[in-house]
Amino acid sequence: MAERFFNQSCTDSEKEELARWIAGQPEDGALRDVLEAAWKKHNADTQMPDVVSERILSKLFQQQILPGENELSGKVVPLYPMHVWVRIAAAIVIILGIGFVSYSWLKRSNEAPIAVVQPVKKAKPADVAPGGNKAILTLGDGSTIVLDNAKNGSLGQQGNVRIVKPASGELVYTAANAKTDKVVYNTVTTPNGGQFQIQLPDGTNVWLNAASSLRFPTTFSGAERKVTITGEVYFEVAKDAKKPFRVQVQDMDVTVLGTHFNVMAYPGEKVIRTTLLEGKVMVKQAGRVVSLSPGQQARLVQDRSSLNVVDEVDTDEEMAWKNGLFQFSDASLDDVMRQVARWYDVEVVYEGSTPTGHFTGKLSRNTNLSKMLQIFTLSDIRYRIEGKKLIVMR
């Protein structure tokens, strides 16, 4: 089979079988023997030079997976000691077909044989770049500004507030000298594959995850500071004892004076989650009221059947998106893929039955889709990318 791999005639199943064999070898010698036997079939009268076998083995083993690196893993995969990780890394290199090189053996008259390294030319695989800072600002008159394309500096004025995009890239609303009683509403919307940060006129900082929106008045002139959201939004609310800060999401309200909290309310999710990091919040829905302390989470089932408080929530996991990470704890493949679809702006399609399995770990969101998905091959989950479509299969 190694010989078939040399001449590029291996089927996918044969590559997987060869990878499993490599992963099970306790010694480098057995692997070297197989490589040499395959070599001789292509070079009948010559012995595989040490430099060639060393380069092949080095290429196979240089992609070691070390504990703490690319920590996202299928829960079905146990933790292995280091020497087994090396073998698994070799299997991954072969399965994915990355980094392998072909070697040709040339003879020159009266000269020692020379090993020439020739990289195998392969078509560049389909891939999708990660999301980034992208959003659209809709002004009070209905006109729009594409924020990721807008130049830094002043973007205009709404009522008595000036809109500025500083070099750091967020959107900042600052009070101007003029005074007006007119209330003007603006909306910031992020697409799939987008995120953005805004500072409201009261000094509250807001972060929007992908496929989210925030509607707010450009000045908080009434008895409260009320905004409306969709999707997932994190708030660091400026303290103002005289004006409570109120977040409306569908038919649920979250009311605070000054605090840090996250609301996740995507339409495709089964539960609306409000997670408190600092301060105190009150969550109201259909006459039901719950109060949260730091580390607690209010969960409203999307069918509105229950509103419960959960203690000792993993706030790092809830805030992973804001900190540039994917982080999962016993998450189903479907849960993972919904996040993937929003961040990479892809349509996820299951070919055949939906693969099972749960995943625990974390990985940077600032990586291409193919790299993020490589780890799923350890759980026998395969995929292919066709444009903006991610096809997942067993």
**Alpha helices of 308-368 — where are they, by DSSP H?**
315-318, 333-344
CATH number for the domain including 259?
A: 2.60.120.1440
Report yes or no: 194 and 135 within 8 Å, Cβ to Cβ: yes
Over its length of 394 residues, how does the chain's per-residue pLDDT go in tens digits? 555 555 556 676 666 666 566 555 555 555 556 555 655 555 544 555 555 455 555 544 444 333 344 454 444 333 333 344 444 444 444 444 433 333 333 333 344 444 445 555 556 668 999 999 999 999 999 999 999 989 999 999 888 899 999 999 999 999 876 566 678 999 999 999 999 999 999 999 999 999 999 999 999 988 999 999 999 999 999 999 899 999 999 999 999 988 999 999 999 899 999 999 999 999 999 889 999 999 999 999 988 888 999 998 999 999 999 999 999 998 988 999 999 999 999 999 998 887 777 888 889 999 999 988 887 777 778 889 999 999 998 7
Q: Is 16 part of a structural domain of the chain?
A: yes
Q: Is 105 part of a structural domain of the chain?
A: yes
Residues 296, 330, single domain; the answer is no
Residues 303, 337, single domain; the answer is no
Pick from 78, 94, 119: which residue ends a domain? Answer: 119
Pick from 294, 322, 350: which residue ends a domain? Answer: 322
Residues 103, 130, single domain; the answer is no
φ, ψ dihedrals at 367, nearest 5°: -145, 150
Residues 189, 249, single domain; the answer is no
Residues 314, 336, single domain; the answer is no
Residues 62, 151, single domain; the answer is no
φ, ψ dihedrals at 309, nearest 5°: -110, 130
Residues 114, 6, single domain; the answer is yes
Q: Is 239 part of a structural domain of the chain?
A: no
> What distance lies between CA 314 and its chain's CA centroid?
18
CA dihedral 95, 96, 99, 100 (to 10 degrees): 40
Residues 134, 72, single domain; the answer is no
Residues 209, 261, single domain; the answer is no
Pick from 274, 306, 322: which residue ends a domain? Answer: 322
Q: Is 229 part of a structural domain of the chain?
A: no
Q: How far apart are CA 370 and CA 372, in angstroms?
A: 5
Q: Is 267 part of a structural domain of the chain?
A: yes
Query: Looking at the DSSP assignment, which residues form a beta bridge with residue 308?
Result: 299
| In the block, residue with structure tokens 């109060």 | 291
| In the block, residue with structure tokens 């569908």 | 250
Number of domains in the chain: 4
Q: Is 38 part of a structural domain of the chain?
A: yes
Residues 359, 289, single domain; the answer is no
Q: Is 21 part of a structural domain of the chain?
A: yes
Q: Is 232 part of a structural domain of the chain?
A: no
Domain that holds residue 93: 2-119
Q: How far apart are CA 72 and CA 333, in angstroms?
A: 12
